[in-house]
């Protein structure tokens, strides 16, 4: 790449539902020659050999074998967010292309949302709002009660960057913390948040008042929480999911919520997204659902974009790629 030449970078579109944010474009164009999918499709012959990178903003553009074969000089794909379950990493690697994500940009806002969902569910905030604004409300019932999280036990499944930040926040609420992870964290990390490691998932489920899911989606975590796991939980417990919808068997969850197997659920993720409008989860009073808001802050999205720029610039220059995702 010649000095001062901006690398050609493929994006889906600018603006709209799945497009790069318009207020990010000025910064991106300081570093890249942006090519939309429409421009690429209309001029493949000229652009195919020029494109060195893909800037993937919320799963777009879709990367498949056909696209990879049409980009012989592609070096790096920068993906916003942590999850890469929408990418075939082995296929991409077979073309000699590197993949990077943005794990640290999303950790704080996602942990914040996990705590917000736990508090909202425990204190029945959504139900309370509906009562407060309802035209039918004549008085506030003195026996309409929620639960406190102070002193309760939180079970964190997946103690990576996000899970650990949840633990840090929960510690400030004087919660007792259990965690289950593929690998145990070091003693200093555990002591800093007062976390107790549970080698067996069932021990965490049986002992927790709130269970929060913060794992990557993989074949091992697909339907990690199903009927058996839900039945191990306390009937007074709440399940919170800030990872991926497929980590939970949603049919089993519906049955558990309807039959009092667990008390409540608070979900930032479902499968699919959004759920069909007639889905049972949308009509249960003991469920809170938010539209995948984990990283949805202006600060986080701007940092994600900057992290992706850094990864692309390194990748096209043959330097080590920050936050590279390995197969």
What residues act catalytically? 244, 273, 292
Which residues, other chains included, contact 133 with Cβ-Cβ below 8 Å and sequence gap of 6+? none
Contact present, 189 and 164 (Cβ < 8 Å): yes
Query: Are 167 and 156 within 8 A, CB to CB?
Result: yes
Q: What is the dihedral of CA 164, 165, 167, 172, to 10 degrees?
A: 150
Q: State yes or no: cis peptide before 272, omega within 30 of 0.
A: yes
Distance CA 301, CA 122 (A): 29
Please report where in the chains the tokens 């991926």 appear, as a residue. Answer: 244
In DSSP notation, 222-262 reads TT-B-HHHHHHS-TT-EEEE-S-GGGB-HHHHHHHHHTTSS
Alpha-carbon span 158 to 137, nearest angstrom: 42
What is the C-alpha to C-alpha distance for residues 312 and 296, in angstroms, rounded to an integer? 22
């Amino acid at each position: 790449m010649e000095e001062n030449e901006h690398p050609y970078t493929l994006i889906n579109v600018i603006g709209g539902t799945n497009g790069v944010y318009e207020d990010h474009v000025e910064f991106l164009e300081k570093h890249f020659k942006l090519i939309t999918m429409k421009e690429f499709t209309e001029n493949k012959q000229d652009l195919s050999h020029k494109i060195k990178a893909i800037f993937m903003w919320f799963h777009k553009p879709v990367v498949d074998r056909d696209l990879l074969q049409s980009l012989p000089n592609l070096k790096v794909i920068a993906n916003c967010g942590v999850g890469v379950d929408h990418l075939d990493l082995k296929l991409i690697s077979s073309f000699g292309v590197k993949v990077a994500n943005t794990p640290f940009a999303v950790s704080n806002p996602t942990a914040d949302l996990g705590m917000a969902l736990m508090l909202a569910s425990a204190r029945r905030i959504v139900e309370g709002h509906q009562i407060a604004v309802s035209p039918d409300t004549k008085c506030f019932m003195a026996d309409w009660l929620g639960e406190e999280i102070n002193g309760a036990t939180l079970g964190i499944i997946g103690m990576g960057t996000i899970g650990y930040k949840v633990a840090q926040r929960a510690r400030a609420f004087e919660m007792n913390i259990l965690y289950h992870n593929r690998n145990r964290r070091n003693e200093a990390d555990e002591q800093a948040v007062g976390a107790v490691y549970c080698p067996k998932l069932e021990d965490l489920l049986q002992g927790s008042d709130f269970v929060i899911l913060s794992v990557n989606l993989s074949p091992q975590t697909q339907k990690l929480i199903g009927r058996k796991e839900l039945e191990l939980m306390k009937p007074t417990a709440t399940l919170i999911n800030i990872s991926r919808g497929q980590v939970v068997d949603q049919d089993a969850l519906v049955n558990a919520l309807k039959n009092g197997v667990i008390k409540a659920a608070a979900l930032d993720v479902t499968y699919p997204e959004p759920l069909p409008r007639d889905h049972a989860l949308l009509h249960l009073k003991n469920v809170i659902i938010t539209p995948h808001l984990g990283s949805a802050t202006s600060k986080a999205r701007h940092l994600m974009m900057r992290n992706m720029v850094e990864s692309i610039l390194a990748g096209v220059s043959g330097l080590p790629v920050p936050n590279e995702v390995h197969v």
